[in-house]
Structure 1
Amino acid sequence: MSKYPALQRVTAVYDPTHEGNPFLAAMPEMLSHDAFMKAIRSLPPLPAGLGAMPSEERRQHLPMLSSLFVPMDYTYVLYDQLYRAISSTYSTRTMIEEIQRTNALFRGDPFSSYATQPATGSILGVPGVGKTSSIRRSLSLLPQVVEHEKYQGAPFFCKQILYLIVECPSDCSVKTLGLNIAVAIDKAIGSNYAQQLTSLRSAAASAIATQVKILCLTHHVGLILIDEIQNAVATAQKNKQIKPLIKFLVELTNDTCTSAFFVGTPIAEELFISQEHLKRRTRGMRLLPFKPDGAYRAFLQAIWPYQLTQDAAPLTEQFANKLYDASGGIPAYIIKIFQEAQAQALLQGERCVSVKTMQRAIERLAIKVPRTFSGGTHISDFEFPPSEAPAPPDEGSPSPVKRLYANKRGRKPVQRDDVDLTLASQFATPATPLEDWLRERGLLEDWPC
C-alpha cells in the first residue's frame, strides 16, 4: 500500500529510519519498476458504440490518440534519477544548518558548510522523443507538497515542496526566472510571492535572486527543473546574457542545497560544453529516437489497436517500415502520422488505413526529420535491469549519430563484369596482390623501362 494518496498535497507521514530529519523521513517511497510502469501508463478505452458512429463523430474522437502514453524502460531511469536528486537535497542539510543558511541570506553574509553538494544535471533529447512528458508524468506520481504539523510530539508547521518545474526565460533574465520560480511556488502552496516580487522589478537582479533563495529554503524545495533550457542558447549567441542566468542558478544550488536539472534539446549541449564550470554540473541523459527494433515494434503494437476507422488494418511490415522511415523513430511523430492517416481514411470514405493514406498523411504533415542527431543513447537501448554498465559520458563535443532507417537506403547492387575495376579492392588479397589480379585479367600492361 502506498504511503501517500494520489494527491498534489498530503500530510506528512514519517519514516522512523530517518529520525532527526523530518524532510527526508517524509519522502514518499520509491516505486518498483513494475509498479511505476503500471501507474504511469495511459491507454484509455476506445469510445463506446464505435461501430455505429458516423465518420464525423469518429474524427472527433481522434484527439484521444494524443493522450496515449506507453512507458518504456528509459522512463523509469528518469524517475529513478529525479527521485534520488530530491532525496539528495534533504540529505545534504540538517535543520540547524537550514536555519543558518536562511539567516545568512537575510544578512547578506556568506555561509560556509562542509555538506556535500546537491544533485545537478541535465536531460537533453531530440524534440518529440518524450522527455518532458516522461518527466512530468514521473513527478506526478509524487506529491508536490508535503504539509508538516507535528514531528516527534512537538508542533512543526511548514510546507515542504518536493519539486518545481519552471521554464527558462527566452530573454535569459535573472528577474524573469526568479519570478517564474515564485509563480511555481504560488501554484504549489497557494501563496502570493510572485505579486511581492513584481513590486521589486525595479530592484537589482541580485535582490530578487536573494529573495528566491530564501523562498527555496523557507519551503524546503527539493528539486528545480529548468525546462526549455535551449531558449538560453539563442539569446546567448545574440546578446551574451547567459552568464548572469547560469551564475544565478549555480549560486541557487550552492546557497540552498537545492538540486537542479536542465531539460531541453541537444542544442543546449553547445552551451554546457562551452562553460568549464558547467560540464560537471550538466552531465546526464542524452536521448535519441527509437531504433527500428523490437522496442519500436512493441510501441507500435501498444498503439495499433487505437483505430477509429470502420475496419482495423493489421500491423504489417510495410506499415511499420513506412511509419519508421517517415517519423525517424520519434514517438511524437509516430502518433501524429498514425492519427492523421486515420483522419485521411475517414475523410476519403475508406474503411481502414492503407499505406497510400499513410503516405498522404505524411505529405499533409510535411514532417522532415534530420539526417543526423547529436550523440546520445537511443530510447530502444534502455533495459531494466541493464545487461551491462553504460559507457561513461563524453566530456567533449558529442559525436553525430547517423539517421537510422527501417528500409535500407541507397541504390540496389547491380551485377558487374568480372573485369570491372570496382571489384578490384574486394578481391585483392595478400596472397593475390592487386597488381597480379589486374595482370591476370589483362587490365595491366607492362612497359619496358
Structure 2
Amino acid sequence: MVKKVQLESMYHFTPSLIGGQVDAGYLEQVIPSYKDNPYIEALPPIFEEDYVALNIRKYPEHNDKYRMLGKETRLHLVQQISDYVEPLSVHLSVEKRLSRLIRHGYKARNPFSPEHVRQFHIGFKDILEKGVDEKGANLAGVRSTAAGFAILGVSGQGKTTAIESSLLLYPQVIHHSAYKEQPFIRKQLVWLKLNCPHDGSLKGLCFNFFQAIDSNLGTNYFQKFVSKGSTVDILIPIMAHIATLHGLGVLVIDEIQNLSFLKSGGAERMLNYFTQLINTIGVPVVLIGTFKAMKLLSGSFSQARRSTGQGDLIMDRLEEGEEWDYFIQNLWTYQWTSKATKLTKPLKNAIYEHSQGIIDIAVKLYMLAQWEAIDNGNNERITVSLLKTVLERDMQLVKPLLKILKSGDLDKLTLVDDLYPNWNEMDLYLQRSKEKINIQGEVRKQYVREDKIEQDQEMFIELVKTAVEFGAPPNIAEDISKKLLQKNGANLDIVKLRNQVVNEVNRFIEAEDIVTPTLYEGNDEKVKKSLTKKESKTEFRTEDDLRNAVESRNDQGDKIYEKLAGMGNVPNKEKLDKLII
C-alpha cells in the first residue's frame, strides 16, 4: 500500500482537460459506413464551420459603459483578455480533422462486431505482439481504420487551444444502457488528452493514462494494475484493453517535445507504442509539440502509421497580412481605458514588431499596455512608445528571443528550436512524410519541399478557373495557380491572388508559346534566346484563336488585353470588376 502511495505521488496526475458527460442518444447517419454503430451514432452531428467558429470563440464581456468604472475595476476587466480566443482558419482545420479522425476510427471498432469481441478472448498482449498481417488485420481479424497526425509549431501560437477547443465540442464520456432494444452497458470515452510527462518516460505516461481514466470514468484501474511488479511491458497491453473496452475515440498527447531518448528505452519506444495503438488496436492518436519535436516525429511515427489523407499540421507565427489584420483588429475591440484609442497602422505595425506574430505574446503585450495606460491615470492612451516601454520593462524574458526572430539570422534561429525549426530536421521531416503537410504562418515563406505542402484545394480551383477565363491553357492555369499558392500560402486575400493570376496570364500571353512566366523566376536572357531560336511556322488558326491577339512580340499587356476583350475571349474591365469582388 505504501508503494502505491509513493507511485501516485511520484507521478502526480493533474487532468489537463475535462469534458462533459451525457447519456447516449442515437442519431440516424447519412453516411452508410457510419450506420449501425453505437459509438458513431451517439456522437453529436457533424459540425458546420459556422457552428464551430461560434462555439470555440472566447470573447470577454465588453461594453463602452465600463470605461466609466473605477481604475481598479477596469484593471480586473483587462485581465479577461488572457482568455481571449479568436477563431482562425487553423481552428476550423483542426476540428475538421478531428471530426473525421474520430468517426473514421470507430468504423472498424463496432462493439457488436464478432472481430471486436474476439479481441477480449485472445488477449491484447498476444494481439500487440503479432501485429497485423499482409491485409492489415490484427490477430482477431480487426482491420484498423484509425489514423494519426501531429500538430507542431511555435510556442504560444495556440496549438493546445486549437485542439482543446475542438475536443470540448464533443462530450468526453457517453453513458450507454441499451442500443436497438439490446442491453449495452458501456461508458464510451470519446477523447482523452494527456500531457507528456516532464521526465519523458513511457512509464510516466502509462501512470498518467490510468489516473486519467479513473478520473473521468470513476474506475479504480490505477489501484488495480499499478503494483510493485508493474513494468511497462505489463501495463501497455492493459492500456490497449481499456482503450478498446471503453471505445476511446482519440488519444491526444500534448508537449510531445518532452520525450526523452534516455528514459524507458527512449522516445522511439513510446512512438512505436502510439503506432501500435493506431495500426493494431485502431485508436487514433494526435501528437502536439513545438518544433523541437520535429526530429522525433520524422522517424517511425511518421513512416509506420497508416496514411489516410489527414496529414500533419505546422502552425508558425502569423504573417503580416490579412489574417494578422483580422486577429489584431478584433482583439483591439476589448479595451477598457477611459478613452478609446483607435488602431492605427503604426500601432498595428508596432504590435507585430514586438510580438513577431506570436499570438500569446501579442495578447499579453496588449493587456500589459492597457494596465500601464490605466495605472498612469493621465490620458489613458495606448501609444507606440507605451508598447515599447512595456516590452522593455515587463517582457524581458522573451525580448532576446523576439530579437533573434526579427533578425532572421539562421545561425541564431537554430538556437531557439521551440520558436523556429531546424531546417535540416524540417527537410527530413517533410521528406519522410507519407502525406502532404499543412503549413501555416511565417515558416511557409521559407524553402521547403513543395510536393509535401498541402494546398488550399478550394482556392486552387478558384485560381485555375480565373486563369482559364483569362485565356491560359488548363495546364498553364494549374502551374500559375500552384506557384502563387506556394509563394503566398492561403493567407493572402482571394481578390489579390486573382489579380496576380491575371497578371501572370497576361505575361504568358505576351510571351506567346513560352511556358515559363515570370513567376517561375526564369532568366530573361534565356527567354530572349528561346524566342530567337524559335522557328516561324505557318499554321491554321481559327478566328477566335487567342494568339490572334498578339501581332508582335513587342505588344504590351494592355494592348493584348484590349484585343482579347474585343474578341470576346476575356471579360472587359466592367465585367472584371464584378468577377474579382
Q: Same fold (TM over 0.5)?
A: yes
What are the equivalent positions in structure 2 for 1:168-183 lying under 5 Å apart? Answer: 168-183=196-211
User: In the superposition, relative to structure 1, how do residues 254 and 102 fare at CA in structure 2: closer, same or farther (>3 Å)?
Assistant: farther
- Quick one: which amino acid aligns to residue 387 of structure 2? M
Query: Cα distance, 1:190 vs. partner?
Result: 2.1
Instruction: Please tell me whether residue 278 in structure 1 is matched to residue 302 in structure 2.
Output: yes
- Quick one: which amino acid aligns to residue 45 of structure 2? E
- Rounded to whole Å, the distance in 2 between the matches of 1:14 and 1:86 is 16
Instruction: Please tell me whether residue 99 in structure 1 is matched to residue 99 in structure 2.
Output: no
**8 Å CA contact retained: 2:315, 2:439:** yes
| Structure 1 partner of 2:459 | 387
| Structure 2 partner of 1:223 | 250
**8 Å CA contact retained: 1:101, 1:255:** no
| Structure 2 partner of 1:74 | 90
Instruction: Please tell me whether residue 89 in structure 1 is matched to residue 105 in structure 2.
Output: yes
Greater shift after overlay, 139-148 or 19-28?
Answer: 19-28
| Structure 1 partner of 2:222 | 194
Query: Cα distance, 1:118 vs. partner?
Result: 0.9
- Rounded to whole Å, the distance in 1 between the matches of 2:263 and 2:211 is 27
Query: Cα distance, 1:324 vs. partner?
Result: 0.4
User: In the superposition, relative to structure 1, how do residues 328 and 307 fare at CA in structure 2: closer, same or farther (>3 Å)?
Assistant: same
Greater shift after overlay, 374-383 or 52-61?
Answer: 374-383
| Structure 1 partner of 2:238 | 211
User: In the superposition, relative to structure 1, how do residues 313 and 277 fare at CA in structure 2: closer, same or farther (>3 Å)?
Assistant: closer
Q: 1:360 aligns with which of 389, 412, 420?
A: 389
**8 Å CA contact retained: 2:272, 2:301:** no
Q: 1:11 aligns with which of 19, 23, 31?
A: 23
User: In the superposition, relative to structure 1, how do residues 383 and 327 fare at CA in structure 2: closer, same or farther (>3 Å)?
Assistant: farther
User: In the superposition, relative to structure 1, how do residues 180 and 138 fare at CA in structure 2: closer, same or farther (>3 Å)?
Assistant: same
| Structure 1 partner of 2:353 | 325
Gaps of 5+ in 2: 1-18, 131-137, 414-419, 427-437, 445-453, 462-477, 479-487, 489-523, 526-581
SS of residue matched to 2:256: coil
**8 Å CA contact retained: 1:123, 1:262:** yes
Greater shift after overlay, 134-143 or 181-190?
Answer: 181-190
Query: Cα distance, 1:48 vs. partner?
Result: 8.4
SS of residue matched to 2:149: strand
**C-alpha deviations, 1:298-332, integer Å up to 9, x for none?**
11111112112111110000000000011111111
Deviation above 4 Å: which 4+ runs of structure 1?
237-240, 379-385
| Structure 2 partner of 1:247 | 272
Query: Cα distance, 1:249 vs. partner?
Result: 2.1
Gaps of 5+ in 1: 1-6, 392-400, 402-428, 431-449
**8 Å CA contact retained: 1:309, 1:346:** yes
| Structure 1 partner of 2:3 | none
**8 Å CA contact retained: 2:21, 2:173:** yes
Query: Cα distance, 1:71 vs. partner?
Result: 0.2
**8 Å CA contact retained: 1:149, 1:158:** yes
**8 Å CA contact retained: 1:175, 1:201:** no
- Quick one: which amino acid aligns to residue 152 of structure 1? K
**C-alpha deviations, 1:70-121, integer Å up to 9, x for none?**
0012111100101111112211233322221222226745442361441111
| Structure 2 partner of 1:416 | none
Q: 2:42 aligns with which of 26, 31, 44?
A: 26
- Rounded to whole Å, the distance in 1 between the matches of 2:323 and 2:277 is 39
| Greater fraction helix | 2
- Quick one: which amino acid aligns to residue 230 of structure 1? Q
Computed over aligned residues only, the root mean square deviation of the Cα atoms, in angstroms, reads 2.8
**C-alpha deviations, 1:193-231, integer Å up to 9, x for none?**
223233x25322111111111110110101000110011
**8 Å CA contact retained: 1:101, 1:256:** no
- Rounded to whole Å, the distance in 2 between the matches of 1:202 and 1:22 is 37
What are the equivalent positions in structure 2 for 1:110-189 lying under 5 Å apart? Answer: 110=130, 111-112=138-139, 113=141, 115-189=143-217
Query: Cα distance, 1:12 vs. partner?
Result: 1.6
| Structure 2 partner of 1:41 | 57
- Quick one: which amino acid aligns to residue 98 of structure 1? H
SS of residue matched to 1:267: helix
- Rounded to whole Å, the distance in 1 between the matches of 2:272 and 2:184 is 34
- Rounded to whole Å, the distance in 1 between the matches of 2:124 and 2:362 is 52
User: In the superposition, relative to structure 1, how do residues 277 and 165 fare at CA in structure 2: closer, same or farther (>3 Å)?
Assistant: closer
**C-alpha deviations, 1:393-422, integer Å up to 9, x for none?**
xxxxxxxx9xxxxxxxxxxxxxxxxxxxxx
- Quick one: which amino acid aligns to residue 311 of structure 1? K
Query: Cα distance, 1:184 vs. partner?
Result: 2.1
Query: Cα distance, 1:178 vs. partner?
Result: 1.3
User: In the superposition, relative to structure 1, how do residues 276 and 209 fare at CA in structure 2: closer, same or farther (>3 Å)?
Assistant: closer
**8 Å CA contact retained: 1:217, 1:256:** yes
Greater shift after overlay, 149-158 or 347-356?
Answer: 347-356
Query: Cα distance, 1:182 vs. partner?
Result: 1.6
| Structure 2 partner of 1:52 | 68
SS of residue matched to 2:252: strand
**8 Å CA contact retained: 1:172, 1:245:** no
| Structure 1 partner of 2:439 | 377
**C-alpha deviations, 1:266-288, integer Å up to 9, x for none?**
11111122x24533539500111
| Structure 2 partner of 1:302 | 330
Query: Cα distance, 1:123 vs. partner?
Result: 0.8
SS of residue matched to 2:183: strand
| Structure 2 partner of 1:436 | none
- Rounded to whole Å, the distance in 1 between the matches of 2:322 and 2:237 is 51
Q: 2:341 aligns with which of 313, 318, 321?
A: 313
- Quick one: which amino acid aligns to residue 259 of structure 1? P
- Quick one: which amino acid aligns to residue 172 of structure 2? Q
- Rounded to whole Å, the distance in 2 between the matches of 1:107 and 1:293 is 53
**C-alpha deviations, 1:144-182, integer Å up to 9, x for none?**
111111111121110111110011123332221112112
- Quick one: which amino acid aligns to residue 33 of structure 1? E
- Quick one: which amino acid aligns to residue 119 of structure 2? R
- Quick one: which amino acid aligns to residue 266 of structure 1? F
**C-alpha deviations, 1:21-54, integer Å up to 9, x for none?**
2112222211111111111111122278523333
| Structure 2 partner of 1:257 | 282
Instruction: Please tell me whether residue 349 in structure 1 is matched to residue 380 in structure 2.
Output: no
- Rounded to whole Å, the distance in 1 between the matches of 2:123 and 2:161 is 35
- Quick one: which amino acid aligns to residue 25 of structure 1? E
